[in-house]
Amino acid sequence: MARQVRRAFKYRFYPTEEQAAELSRTFGCVRLVYNKALEERTLAWYGERRRVSYVQSSAALAQWKKTPGLAFLSEVPCVPLQQALRHLQTAFANFFAKRAAYPRFKSRKRSRASAEYTRSAFTWREGRLTLAKMTAPLDIRWSRPLPQGAEPTTVTVSRDSAGRWFVSLLCQDTITAAPATGAAVGIDAGIASLVTLSTGEKITNPQHERRDCARLAKAQRDLSRKAPGSANREKARRKVARVHARIADRRRDFLHKLSTRLVRENQTVVIEDLAVANLLKNHRLARAISDVAWRELRRMLEYKCAWYGRDLVVVDRWFPSSKLCGTCGTVRARLPLDVREWTCGCGAVHDRDVNAARNILAAGLAVTACGDGVRPQRDTSRTGHSSAKQETQRATTGISRL
């Protein structure tokens, strides 16, 4: 079965000096409009308890362009500025719905420099992309082809901290569901092993950051010795950013390959609902937890399962997967982290991680068998995952039968 999804294709491009200057001005104006609109909304909300709509912010933007101090806003394309206001509107909608924290101001140094162009602000002709206010198309490196006959509806241009330029093209794509299979897998996330599967396989942690630790330390030492505000300091900062970018790229590539393999081989994927933000409070393990990127792996599994017609079941974070004996169902009172293998009273010897993965799989299958709307809905508008929080007891009692 095929389905239509909106999919972003990201490519690197190399702008000319004129294009780089134009895009840099646009990035600055987008950030300024976002921050100024956020400031006015904040004053209205905390001072008068009054909400400012997108229409009102858009009208205010028109007035800002007429003031002498902000007349330069008219020199850049208007669509990215309007899109910044729409993004702010979405941020406030999420805040009022209690789905997110209060919107924050964009920093020139720390925030991602980007601008979004809708269909009226760019030209797509014969596979060449030309943005508004530009005379020449972007020099894009087409690392992979776009879907046959697809045309971008939204274009997002960005520049990362390492100075690399990227363009993301949002297109309509047709994705065919993967062939059905009866296989199911439980996944236990870890640090020594990135993940342990219920089949007994352990995926080794690549430790991308540790492999580049010496290079990163040297680049950071060089940066600390440069005078603030100097050109040499900016060069040293770029060098540090390139090392971080290399680590992030390798980590992302590994997680994509791992998540794609798991989705292709299994009809049902069961994972734990880990509270990564709370785990990062352990300062002894925070760096290692950040390096394994459990949340990014879950995000990839969510949308890939939704795309390819797989079931993703999320087991409650309080489910005692490691302390539960998969043979007799006994739950140990304590199991310190340094205990990697333990023996149950029934005589069963368990590898801590393999036992946890098998218990996670059994709990997920029990939850799925119980029904009650727990099976995730696979569609293109929402991610295909479900929480097993309400089914923990039934899943626990059903483990010995599975």
Please indicate, yes or no, whether residues 306 and 168 belong to a single structural domain of this protein.
Answer: no
Please indicate, yes or no, whether residues 263 and 144 belong to a single structural domain of this protein.
Answer: no
pLDDT digits (tens, 9 = 90+) for 311-344: 999 998 888 888 888 888 888 888 888 888 888 8
CB-count burial class (<10 Å; 0-12, 13-18, 19+) for 257: exposed
- Residue 343 structural domain: 184-204+251-370
Question: Is residue 381 domain-resident?
Answer: no
pLDDT digits (tens, 9 = 90+) for 15-26: 999 999 999 999
Please indicate, yes or no, whether residues 15 and 145 belong to a single structural domain of this protein.
Answer: yes
3-state helix, strand, coil in the chain (%, to 5): 45, 20, 35
Residue that finishes a domain, picked among 140, 157, 176: 176
Please indicate, yes or no, whether residues 193 and 261 belong to a single structural domain of this protein.
Answer: yes
Task: Give the side-chain half-sphere CA count within 13 A for 292.
Answer: 21
- Look at the chain and count its residues: 402
Does the annotation mark 272 as catalytic?
Answer: yes
Predicted pLDDT of residue 399 = 36
Please indicate, yes or no, whether residues 152 and 297 belong to a single structural domain of this protein.
Answer: no
Question: Is residue 222 domain-resident?
Answer: no
Decide if 259 contacts 235 (C-beta within 8 A).
no
Question: Is residue 69 domain-resident?
Answer: yes
CA 144 to chain centre: 21
pLDDT at 281 over 70: yes
pLDDT digits (tens, 9 = 90+) for 30-46: 999 999 999 999 999 88
> 371 falls in which pLDDT band (50, 70, 90)?
low
In whole numbers, what is the pLDDT of the chain averaged over residues? 88
> 401 falls in which pLDDT band (50, 70, 90)?
very low
Residue 390 to residue 372: CA distance in whole angstroms: 10
> 372 falls in which pLDDT band (50, 70, 90)?
very low
Please indicate, yes or no, whether residues 77 and 145 belong to a single structural domain of this protein.
Answer: yes
Helix (H) or strand (E) holding 42: helix 17-48
Q: Give how many domains the chain has, as a whole number.
A: 2
Alpha carbon distances (Å) from 184 to 196, 240, 259: 14, 42, 14
Does the annotation mark 173 as catalytic?
Answer: no
Residue 56 to residue 110: CA distance in whole angstroms: 28
Decide if 364 contacts 315 (C-beta within 8 A).
yes
Question: Is residue 125 domain-resident?
Answer: yes
Range name among 54-58, 84-88, 204-208 with the lowest pLDDT average = 204-208
* Side chain identity, residue 399: I
Predicted pLDDT of residue 123 = 96
Predicted pLDDT of residue 286 = 87
Pairing of strands 311-315, 385-387: parallel
Please indicate, yes or no, whether residues 158 and 34 belong to a single structural domain of this protein.
Answer: yes
Please indicate, yes or no, whether residues 196 and 99 belong to a single structural domain of this protein.
Answer: no
pLDDT at 210 over 90: no
Catalytic residue among 209, 302, 311, 353: 353
Tell me which residue of 3, 400, 311, 33 sits closest to 177, measured CA to CA.
3
Question: Is residue 129 domain-resident?
Answer: yes
Helix (H) or strand (E) holding 385: strand 385-387
Please indicate, yes or no, whether residues 142 and 275 belong to a single structural domain of this protein.
Answer: no
> 386 falls in which pLDDT band (50, 70, 90)?
very low
Give 159's strand partners: 113, 165
pLDDT at 381 over 50: no
Predicted pLDDT of residue 16 = 96
Residue 79 to residue 30: CA distance in whole angstroms: 10
Q: How many angstroms separate the most distant Cα atoms in the chain?
A: 81
> 400 falls in which pLDDT band (50, 70, 90)?
very low
Which stretches does DSSP call E strand in 83-235?
Answer: 113-118, 122-125, 128-131, 140-141, 154-159, 165-176, 184-189, 193-197, 202-204
Predicted pLDDT of residue 330 = 86
Question: Which residues make Cβ contacts (< 8 Å) with residue 287, sequence separation at least 6?
Answer: 209
Catalytic residue among 22, 272, 311, 391: 272
Does the annotation mark 212 as catalytic?
Answer: no
Question: Is residue 387 domain-resident?
Answer: no
Question: Is residue 319 domain-resident?
Answer: yes
Global pTM reads 0.84
Please indicate, yes or no, whether residues 292 and 154 belong to a single structural domain of this protein.
Answer: no
Catalytic residue among 188, 209, 302, 316: 188
Question: Is residue 239 domain-resident?
Answer: no
Please indicate, yes or no, whether residues 192 and 94 belong to a single structural domain of this protein.
Answer: no
Please indicate, yes or no, whether residues 138 and 189 belong to a single structural domain of this protein.
Answer: no
